[in-house]
């Protein structure tokens, strides 16, 4: 949808892909009410970290046969959540340390119906993926004050949020407690 006709590793490599700043360049102007906050966070957090709302996340997905022998797939429960993780695709184009991440319904046994251990390399990619949700708002629970985010461990994807089965796959997106920005003093 946002491509340029070339084949890329992921949608974030598309050269002409949409970016928030394509339309919102004035957020850095000195006349802007929040210009200082935008300059402080530029290159450190993606726009969605401050401006996205909770969104749908999914658990594992499985394929099988029902009682009549018909093929089906079943997605585990879904849940609404908002998590900030480490940027797994850090590059000059996406330099931010912190990004929003979403749980996708991948599971090591997802293809066992077709072939046993079909995802033998499952742990090479996280199931908490970089997300750029489109549910953007000017004011969100995490940007209402500095300390709504700073020091708020509930917003960050921590090791305790990951089931042991997925720990290795997500090691590069989990935020170590020492990297969570500390509470700010007024």
Alpha carbon distance 146, 37 (integer Å)? 9
**Given the structure tokens 């089906």, which residue do they identify?**
72
pLDDT tens per residue across span 170-182: 999 999 999 999 9
pLDDT band at 1 (very low <50, low <70, confident <90, very high): low
Q: Domain locations in the chain?
A: 33-175
Report pLDDT for 177.
93
Q: What is the pLDDT of residue 2?
A: 65
- pLDDT (tens digit, 9 = 90+) per residue, 52-109? 999 989 887 767 778 888 877 777 778 899 999 999 999 888 899 999 999 998 888 8
User: What is the pLDDT of the chain when averaged over all its residues?
Assistant: 89
Helix, strand, coil % in the chain, rounded to nearest 5: 20, 20, 60
Buried b / exposed e across 139-175, counting CB within 10 Å, b at 16+?
Answer: ebebbeeeeebeeeeebbbbeebbeeebeebbeebbb
Q: Count the Cβ atoms, other than its own, within 10 Å of residue 69.
A: 6
Collapsed DSSP state (helix, strand, coil) of residue 159 = helix
Share of the chain above pLDDT 90, in %: 54
Cα angle: 139, vertex 82, 162; to 5 degrees: 160
129-149 pLDDT per residue, tens: 999 888 999 999 999 999 999
Report the alpha-carbon distance of residue 73 to residue 96 in Å, rounded. Answer: 36
Query: What pTM was computed for the model?
Result: 0.87
CA distance 15 to 92: 12
Does residue 164 surpass a pLDDT of 60? yes
């Amino acid at each position: 949808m946002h491509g340029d006709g070339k084949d890329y590793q992921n949608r974030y490599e598309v050269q002409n892909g949409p970016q928030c700043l394509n339309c919102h360049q004035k957020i850095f102007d000195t006349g802007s009410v929040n210009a200082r906050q935008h300059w402080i966070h530029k290159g450190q957090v993606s726009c969605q970290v401050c401006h996205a709302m909770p969104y749908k996340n999914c658990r594992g997905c499985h394929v099988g046969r029902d009682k009549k022998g018909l093929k089906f797939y079943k997605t585990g429960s879904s849940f609404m959540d908002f998590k900030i993780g480490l940027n797994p695709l850090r590059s000059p184009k996406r330099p931010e340390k912190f990004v929003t991440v979403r749980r996708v319904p991948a599971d090591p046994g997802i293809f066992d119906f077709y072939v046993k251990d079909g995802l033998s390399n499952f742990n090479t990619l996280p199931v908490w993926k970089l997300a750029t949700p489109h549910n953007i708002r000017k004011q969100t629970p995490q940007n209402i004050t500095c300390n709504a985010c700073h020091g708020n461990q509930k917003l960050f994807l921590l090791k305790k949020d990951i089931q042991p089965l997925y720990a290795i796959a997500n090691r590069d997106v989990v935020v170590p407690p020492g990297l969570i920005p500390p509470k700010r003093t007024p």
